[in-house]
Structure 1
Amino acid sequence: MSQKDPSRLDALVARSQRDKAEREKGYRERALKLYPWVCGRCGREFGGANLRELTVHHRDHNHDNNPLDGSNWELLCIYCHDNEHQRYVDATPGKDKTTGAGATHNPFAGLADLLKRD
């Protein structure tokens, strides 16, 4: 991809977003048919105008794993869904929670040299 042709990148991003929206629409519609319109965590009920606040959470955090029986999904309100993903990020060892990068500081880097002095 050339930096001189940003339209190719724009087209790729647009196609990727369209494909993602189509996938989401498919499993969201199926999940809404399978499960009652209630948040699986807080128990809040949904319908009508606030149904858009009910989201599909992938239990294994793999958005491409969409079995037809819905076994990898649960319906969560947007607040519980955000909380669930934050809990997953917090539980991931060795990650900097702000950037997602691994730890770079090594507190024992000079320990071997210090021990050799004696």
Structure 2
Amino acid sequence: MTIKKTQIDANKSAQIVSEARRNQELREQSYRGQALKLYPWICGRCTREFDHKNLSELTVHHRNHNHDDNPQDGSNWELLCLYCHDNEHQRYEETRFGSAKTASSKDTAGAGHNPFANLKDLMNKK
């Protein structure tokens, strides 16, 4: 039975390796794989450097925010770390939908309390 189990394990291992290689080739053909080949593995905003260990934290940002626009020359791509990519999309959303929020926030009165109002007096007491 150990021979059959060893053969099954070997066949399963070969199948797993073959599938992993096929998936890697598909990823390399994807826009992410192409961008990783075109650009250095550095975040375009914070300049954090990446290697094989943390490469999953480096993302491809579409500059025009259209994920279907993937030119082969990479002109619509930018490599960003997870944090900068999230920040970029947050800023984009605020630009798109933030105009209504900004108008309403101007109408709202600011805080009336100033916690530093008598700071000078407190400092002089010492």
Whether TM exceeds 0.5 here: the answer is yes
Residue 42 of structure 1 is matched in structure 2 by 46
What TM-score does the superposition give when structure 1 sets the normalisation length? 0.58
Q: Report Cα offsets for 1:32-87 as digits up to 9, x if no partner.
A: 00000000000000011100000000000000000000000000000000000000
Q: Is the helix fraction higher in 1 or 2?
A: 2
Three-state SS of the structure 1 residue aligned to 2:53 is helix
What TM-score does the superposition give when structure 2 sets the normalisation length? 0.55
Three-state SS of the structure 1 residue aligned to 2:75 is coil
Pairs aligned (count): 76
After superposition, the Cα gap between the structure-2 partners of 1:38 and 1:82, relative to the gap in structure 1 and judged at 3 Å, is: same
- 1:68 counterpart = 2:76: no
Three-state SS of the structure 1 residue aligned to 2:61 is strand
- Pick the structure with greater CA Rg: 2
Shift of 1:96: 7.4
Separation in 2 of the partners of 1:74 and 1:27? 11
- 1:31 counterpart = 2:13: no
C-alpha contact 2:57 2:81 (8 A) present in aligned 1: yes
- Quick one: which amino acid aligns to residue 43 of structure 1? T
- Quick one: which amino acid aligns to residue 34 of structure 2? R
Structure 1, gaps ≥5 residues long: 1-21, 98-118
Alignment RMSD, CA only? 2.5
Separation in 2 of the partners of 1:36 and 1:84? 20
Runs ≥4 residues deviating over 2 A: 22-25, 93-97
Separation in 2 of the partners of 1:24 and 1:93? 35
After superposition, the Cα gap between the structure-2 partners of 1:67 and 1:41, relative to the gap in structure 1 and judged at 3 Å, is: same
After superposition, the Cα gap between the structure-2 partners of 1:24 and 1:80, relative to the gap in structure 1 and judged at 3 Å, is: farther
Structure 2, gaps ≥5 residues long: 1-25, 102-126
Residue 81 of structure 1 is matched in structure 2 by 85
